[in-house]
Amino acid sequence: MCCARREAEKMLDTTNINLPRHVGVIMDGNGRWAKKRGVPRWEGHREGARVFRRIGEYAADIGVKYLTFYAFSTENWSRPPEEVAAIMQLFREYLLEGDERIKENEEKGMRLRFIGDRSGLPADIVNLIEKAERESADKSRVYVNIALNYGGRDEIVGSVKKIAQKVACGEMKPDDITQDDISGGLYTAGQPDPDLIIRPSGEYRISNFLLWQSAYSEFWYSDVLWPDFTTDDFDRAVLAYSGRNRRFGNIG
């Protein structure tokens, strides 16, 4: 209770700041965090999962409406098999834990969506994902996207294929294709593009994350490894975003 009170007292005052509506987070640095401590890489992923839960709940508490967390990319399958297996087990545990905390999840009002190619995931994880999405479908306090087996280029290709199929069937003419048509075929269709993308761990690249949607996103980078990322770090990112002038190509 004491810790919860302290966290509440530290809550960012959003009264006079421009709060991002949609925040994307590239959760990076779990392996390096583990290496620095001489523990297996999966320990870093486990700690990173705890931080994901804490930051997600905190962001919802201060009023962020949409969150997208980059959890596992299409390229991450090339990691050592034991590390991939450990990450998949963490997803299972997260989904099963959510199933056991239905009442708490009701209070959080969190709607879960898993974006990415499910065909490459273990069948039991896909079943748990579908169950979590069904059970949170009526929630609207905060929308949380978890990018799992996700790749931004593959996402765009998938949208283009849907449009090509419509053209082939005579439902659409090539000259009629718009940016909205491509956006409508993405995993995030119906959601606003991310205003702010946070990347910890000292890396300065987008890593195939929300490539189409991030055309005008603001970026915030930090040297902090993801397992060490705190609500204070999240506040710094939000405050930095609030002070920027977003011109969207216009003269500011």
Query: Is 99 annotated as catalytic?
Result: no
Q: DSSP for 76-128?
A: GGGS-HHHHHHHHHHHHHHHHHHHHTHHHHHHHTEEEEEES-GGGS-HHHHHH
Distance CA 154, CA 33 (A): 29
Task: Please report the sign of the dihedral spanned by the C-alpha atoms of residue 199, residue 205, residue 210, residue 214.
Answer: positive
CA distance to 27, 71, 197, 203, 215, per residue, from 207 (Å): 11, 12, 12, 10, 14
Query: Is 127 annotated as catalytic?
Result: no
9, containing H or E segment = helix 2-9
Which of 248, 239, 222, 244 shows the shortest CA–CA distance to 27? 222
Candidate list 18, 76, 117, 181, residue with the active-site label? 76
75 close to 208: Cβ distance less than 8 angstroms: yes
Distance CA 226, CA 228 (A): 5
Candidate list 28, 193, 195, 235, residue with the active-site label? 28
48 close to 30: Cβ distance less than 8 angstroms: yes
Catalytic residue annotation = 28, 76
